[in-house]
Amino acid sequence: MRGWDGALPLPSVRTIEEMRSVLADNSCNGNTSLYFMYRDLAKSDTDRQWLHSRKLRYDITVIPPCNLCGEWVKTKGHYHPKNPVGIGYPEVYEVLEGEAKYLLQLRRLDDIVMISAHAGDIVIIPPDYGHISINPSVEKTLTMANIVSTAFESEYGEYETLHGAAYYAMSDGNLRKNPHYPKIPEVRSPGAHWRSAMHRLCKGPLYNLIGNETMLTFLNFPEQYPGIFPELLKD
């Protein structure tokens, strides 16, 4: 697998039946398996022990190209809860192969952001933003890594109830508003700020940060970084 030379467990597989409730066309049929999640990876027992002792997990997700009845293939979408001091848990992604689009939305729906990223890019999901990952390609597989806290469970319910994110990323290049949402803002596309500002928190490759106490602290203790997260999504 691109970006990983260690052993891999059997993946968790997200099927089209599990995704049907969040698709633009919920009658869409096609490939049963849409994407593959390899969770809790480590290349050594030492690395795994370091991650576990700090309530962290390294994952890889593989999303082959697929046109879902006019919509790009995507992940299901989820929010993170707040940590014990009331700040939402963030997450960090690295694109290992292909191209990704990350559609972020505040739970209160007053900000919606689309970030495009390529191999080698790191994208930090700030506190309180729900997110989906999209593979906008007809031929290239998207492979991405993430590191996330294990102190919580992801919350999928709002995406399921509202039949996906606030917008659907269609394969013709357009964004279609999800009619199940109330009034929503237009999608913003931040410039270079997210790319430069994020490096104040961490730099890739992500796997190389295992063992680095400073770089990954923000995943469990975002309150220690006041003012940093708003910089990530500036226009």
pLDDT digits (tens, 9 = 90+) for 217-230: 999 999 999 888 88
In-domain check, residue 1? no
Residue 9 burial (10 A CB sphere; 0-12, 13-18, 19+): exposed
Cα 24 to Cα 115: distance, rounded to the nearest angstrom: 20
CB 114 within 8 A of CB 123: no
pLDDT digits (tens, 9 = 90+) for 104-124: 999 999 999 999 999 999 999
Cα 87 to Cα 83: distance, rounded to the nearest angstrom: 5
Domain count, the chain: 1
CB 62 within 8 A of CB 1: yes
In-domain check, residue 117? yes
Task: Identify the pLDDT of residue 30.
Answer: 77
Task: Round the average pLDDT of the chain to a whole number and report it.
Answer: 93
> By residue range, what is the domain housing residue 59?
12-232
In-domain check, residue 4? no
pLDDT digits (tens, 9 = 90+) for 117-172: 999 999 999 999 999 999 999 999 999 999 999 999 999 999 999 999 999 999 99
DSSP string, 61-108: EEE---EETTEE-B---BB--B-TTS-B--EEEEEEESEEEEEEEETT
In-domain check, residue 6? no
Q: What is the CATH number of the domain that holds 40?
A: 2.60.120.10
In-domain check, residue 5? no
In-domain check, residue 2? no
> Does pLDDT of 196 surpass 70?
no
In-domain check, residue 180? yes
